[in-house]
Structure formats: C-alpha cells, structure tokens
C-alpha cells in the first residue's frame, strides 16, 4: 500500500510539473528557469530533476503530450459523420488545448523517435480529415493539411497577459471567422504553393 501511495504521489507531482512547465514556457519563454516551474508546481527542485534531468528532456515530454492531444482531437473529428463538422471539431479541440504553443521551440531541441512517430501519426489522421472534407466539397480545394495545422499553431500563441473572459470571446470569434475562411469554394485564391512536409519537419531538424 505504501509503495502504491508513493507512486500515486509521484504521478500527481508529474502532472503538476508538466502543467506548470507548459504554462511557464508558453508565457515566460523557453529560456525561463526550471526553478520557476518547480515553484509553480509546488514541488522541490529535487523532485523535478529526478523526473526530468534537463530542460530539453522536459520540453521533449511536453511536445509528445501536445501531439497526443492532437491525435485525440483528430480521432474525435473522424468520429463525426459530417465531414465539415469533423474538421471543425478537430480545429477547435486543438486550439482549446493550445496544441501549437510549443512550436517556437522547433530547432532548439533534439527530436526524439517518440516525438517524430507521434507527429507523423497525428498528421496522418489530420490528412484523413482534410481529404474527407475535400471529397465532400466542403473544404476549399487549395487548403492543405499543413495549412490547417499552421492555422491551429497561430491560434495557440499565448496572450501578452493573463487571459480574461473577453480574450476567450475574441479568440472564439476570430476562430469562427477563420473556419469560414476554410470553407469551399473560397473567394480569394491563396498565394503560392501550400507548405511542404519537408519544410514543416525541417523546422525541427527532422527531414531524414
């Protein structure tokens, strides 16, 4: 019983650390000291370093968690029978989870096999959502899967101050406008070619 109690406490500490790390990194910047994370989580530095030996290791874990949330959002979207509603569910869920908030760390940390595998699985599911919406004629034909992912990334950027109810309302309003902009047929042709997978993965140094 005592062993299980210690394991449960360690799991709770880990959740607090990860939540605190996400908040600190996305509001104070990725050069924020890990001491700020431990303080916010209410744990000692020893507890933090026993779980994550380096800041990079902590960021890698946060990236995996963020991508897993994208996978869950895509699975929920694919469960919707309506292709447009499925895509909209996916976008809204990703934005609500701020799944793209860690994008600025691209190129500054080593990409692990787990990160790469999770990301490619998430993109495969998102591609199915986009393809289904294209086939139904509800998504403008010149919008790619990466266009949608990068749109989510833009909406995941942290506010310059702690968010308020008004900030949430404004974000939801702008997101509704953006979603309408994705609808077929699209009034204004999009400039240039869509972003490529090589370009997207190259930001993280994962073109191999």
SS3 139: strand
C-alpha 139/C-alpha 156 separation (Å) is: 22
Can you tell me the mean pLDDT for 128-151? 96
Residue-by-residue DSSP string for 38-90: HHHHT--HHHHHHH-SSHHHHHHHHHHHHHHHHHHHHHHHHHSSSHHHHHHHH
Check residue 25 and give its pLDDT. 86
Identify the residue with better confidence: 198 or 182: 182
pLDDT in tens, 67-88: 999 999 999 999 999 999 999 9
111 DSSP 8-state letter: P
Question: Please, what is the average pLDDT of the chain?
Answer: 87
Query: How many other CB atoms sit within 10 Å of the CB of residue 92?
Result: 19
- Could you tell me which of 101, 100, 97 has the C-alpha nearest to residue 76? 97
- Residues 17, 48: contact at Cβ < 8 Å? yes
As a whole number of angstroms, the distance between CA 183 and CA 78 comes to: 18
The model carries a pTM of: 0.84
Q: What is the DSSP string of 9-46?
A: HHHHHHHHHHHHHHHHHHHH-TTS-HHHHHHHHT--HH
**Does residue 111 have a pLDDT over 60?**
yes
Q: Which residues pair with 183 in a beta bridge?
A: 139
2 CB burial (10 A radius; 0-12, 13-18, 19+)? exposed
What is the reported pLDDT for 197?
84
Domains recognised in the chain with CATH numbers: 1-53 (1.10.10), 60-202 (1.10.357.10)
Lowest average pLDDT, out of 11-15, 54-58, 131-135, 188-192, goes to 11-15
Q: What is the mean pLDDT of residues 15-20?
A: 88
- Rounded mean pLDDT, 42-67: 90
pLDDT at 95: 93
Residue 2 pLDDT > 50, yes or no? no
What's the CA gap between 196 and 202, in Å, rounded?
Answer: 10
User: Alpha-carbon distance 183 to 208, whole Å?
Assistant: 34
Would you place residue 177 in the very low, low, confident or very high pLDDT band (cuts 50, 70, 90)? very high
């Amino acid at each position: 019983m005592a062993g299980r109690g210690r394991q449960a406490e360690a799991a709770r500490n880990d959740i607090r650390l990860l939540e605190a790390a996400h908040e600190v990194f996305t509001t104070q910047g990725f050069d924020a000291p890990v001491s700020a994370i431990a303080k916010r989580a209410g744990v000692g530095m020893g507890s933090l370093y026993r779980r994550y030996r380096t800041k990079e290791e902590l960021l890698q874990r946060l990236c995996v968690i963020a991508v897993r949330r994208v996978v869950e959002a895509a699975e929920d979207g694919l469960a919707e029978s309506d292709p447009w509603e499925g895509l909209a569910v996916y976008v809204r869920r990703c934005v609500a989870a701020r799944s793209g908030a860690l994008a600025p760390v691209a190129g500054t940390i080593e990409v692990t096999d787990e990160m790469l595998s999770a990301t490619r699985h998430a993109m495969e599911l998102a591609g199915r959502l986009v393809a289904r919406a294209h086939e139904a004629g509800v998504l403008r034909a010149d919008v790619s899967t990466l266009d949608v992912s990068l749109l989510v990334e833009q909406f995941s950027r942290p506010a310059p101050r702690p968010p308020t109810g008004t900030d949430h309302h404004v974000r939801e309003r702008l997101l509704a406008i953006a979603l309408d902009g994705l609808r077929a047929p699209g009034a204004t042709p999009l400039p240039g070619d869509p972003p490529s997978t090589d370009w997207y993965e190259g930001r993280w140094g994962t073109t191999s």
